[in-house]
Amino acid sequence: MKRSIKEIILRLLLLLAGLTIAHLGVTLFLLTDLGADPFNVFVQGLFRTLSSSVRILTHGYTHITICIIIILVLLIVDRSYIKIGTVVCMGFGGPIIDFFTRLLGGFINAGNPFAVRILTLAAGCVILAFGMTIVIKSDAGTGPNDLVAIVISDKLARPFGIIRIIVDCCFVAIGFLLGGAVGIGTIISAFLVGPVADKFLPYSGHIVDAVLKRVLS
C-alpha cells in the first residue's frame, strides 16, 4: 500500500523522536566511561587492526565503512530493509550524542561514584532499548548496526531479544580479538539491551500506531 507524503513525514518524525531517545541512552552509557557498546568494540578492534596499514583510517571512517558494507549486503539480500530512515540514523546519531554530551557531561561522568555510574549505565541501556523500538516501529528505516539483528530475527523467525544478544556478543568477541577494549558496560549492554527492547516492541508499536491514527485520521 502506497503511503502519502504526510504519512512518510510523520513516520520520519517518529523515527527522529525514537533516535533522540535512543541516543540519549547511548550518551548516558558513554558518559559513565565503563566501556564501549558492542558494535563500537567491533569498530574499535577493526580500526586498531587496519590503522597500521591504512594510514588515513580513523575510528569514524571505520564506523561509516562498516555501515556502508552492511547496507550494500542488505541491498543484495533484501533491499526492503533499506529506507530513507537508514540514512537519517547514520547522519543524525553523532550530532545527537554530541548535544546530550554537552548538556549532561558536567553532571554525569567518570568522577561519579561507581554505583551511580552502574545505575546510570543500566538506565542508559533501558532508554536506548525504548528509543530503538520506536525507531523500528516507525517503519521508516533503522540504523545499519541495528539492522543486523533485525534482519536475522526476521529471517529466522526468532525473538529479537535473543538474536540481539547473540549479535552483540559476536561484535564483542570479534572486536576483542582484534584489539577492541571491553568494559563492564560492554557486557551489561550486550545482555540487557536486546531483552529490554523485546519487551518494549509491542508497546512501542501501539504508541506509533496511536500517533499515526490520531494525526492521519
In order along its 217 residues, the chain shows pLDDT tens digits of 678 899 999 999 999 999 999 999 999 988 999 988 899 899 889 988 887 776 667 777 888 889 899 999 999 989 999 999 999 998 888 889 889 999 999 999 999 999 999 999 999 999 999 999 999 999 999 999 899 999 999 999 999 999 999 999 999 999 999 988 899 999 999 999 999 999 999 999 999 999 999 999 8
The pTM score is 0.90
The structural domains of the chain, with segments of one domain joined by +, span 5-105+114-216
SS (H, E, C) the chain: CCCCHHHHHHHHHHHHHHHHHHHHHHHHHHHCCCCCCHHHHHHHHHHHHHCCCCCCCCHHHHHHHHHHHHHHHHHHHCHHHCCHHHHHHHHHHHHHHHHHHHHHCCCCCCCCCHHHHHHHHHHHHHHHHHHHHHHHHHCCCCCHHHHHHHHHHHHHCCCHHHHHHHHHHHHHHHHHHCCCCCCHHHHHHHHHHHHHHHHHHHHHHHHHHHHHHHHHC
